[in-house]
C-alpha cells in the first residue's frame, strides 16, 4: 500500500494521537502535524522507485524505529529530505506493513518526514542548505 492511501484511511486526530503516543515530545506540535496532513492529502504524487522500510533498532541511543527507503536494486537510502510527493507515492514494504500497526507506520513516517520542518518547502530548503555547505 502507498503511504498516501494509508494516510487517507485515518483522521488527522487518530494520526496525531498516535504520533504523540510514540513521540511524547511532539505534543506541542499538533498544529504542525495538522498542516502536514493537509498538505500530504492534497499534494500530487511524484514517481519514485523507493519503498518504505521500518525496522526496530536497539543501540546506545536507545530503542527506536528506523525509517528508510529501499530501491529496486535493494540499496538503502536515507529519505528524511525526500520530496513529500515522493514519500506519499512510496509503497510500504510488505514485511513492514504486516509487522507494524498501520497508524504507527504513518506516525513513524511523519516523524521522519518532518525532521527538518513542517512543510515540504521547508524540508527542501534545509536540504538545499545542506547540499550547498559542501
- pLDDT over 90 at 119, yes or no: no
pLDDT tens per residue across span 47-90: 999 999 999 999 998 899 999 999 999 999 999 999 999 999 99
Cα separation, 91 vs 53, in Å, equals 9
Residue 75 — left, alpha, or beta (φ > 0 → left; ψ -120 to 50 → alpha)?
beta
Which region among 50-54, 96-100, 125-129 has the lowest average model confidence (pLDDT)?
125-129
Amino acid at each position: 500500500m502507498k503511504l498516501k492511501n494509508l494516510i487517507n484511511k485515518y483522521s488527522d486526530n487518530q494520526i496525531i494521537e498516535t504520533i504523540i503516543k510514540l513521540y511524547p515530545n511532539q505534543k506541542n506540535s499538533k498544529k504542525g502535524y495538522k498542516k502536514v496532513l493537509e498538505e500530504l492529502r492534497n499534494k500530487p504524487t511524484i514517481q519514485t522507485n523507493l519503498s518504505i522500510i521500518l525496522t526496530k533498532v536497539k543501540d546506545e541511543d536507545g530503542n527506536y524505529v528506523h525509517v528508510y527507503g529501499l530501491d529496486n536494486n535493494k540499496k538503502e537510502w536515507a529519505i528524511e529530505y525526500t520530496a513529500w510527493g515522493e514519500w506519499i507515492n512510496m509503497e510500504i514494504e510488505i514485511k513492514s506493513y504486516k509487522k507494524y500497526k498501520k497508524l504507527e507506520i504513518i506516525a513513524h513516517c511523519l516523524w521522519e518526514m518532518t525532521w527538518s520542518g513542517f512543510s515540504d518547502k521547508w524540508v527542501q530548503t534545509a536540504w538545499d542548505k545542506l547540499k550547498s555547505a559542501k
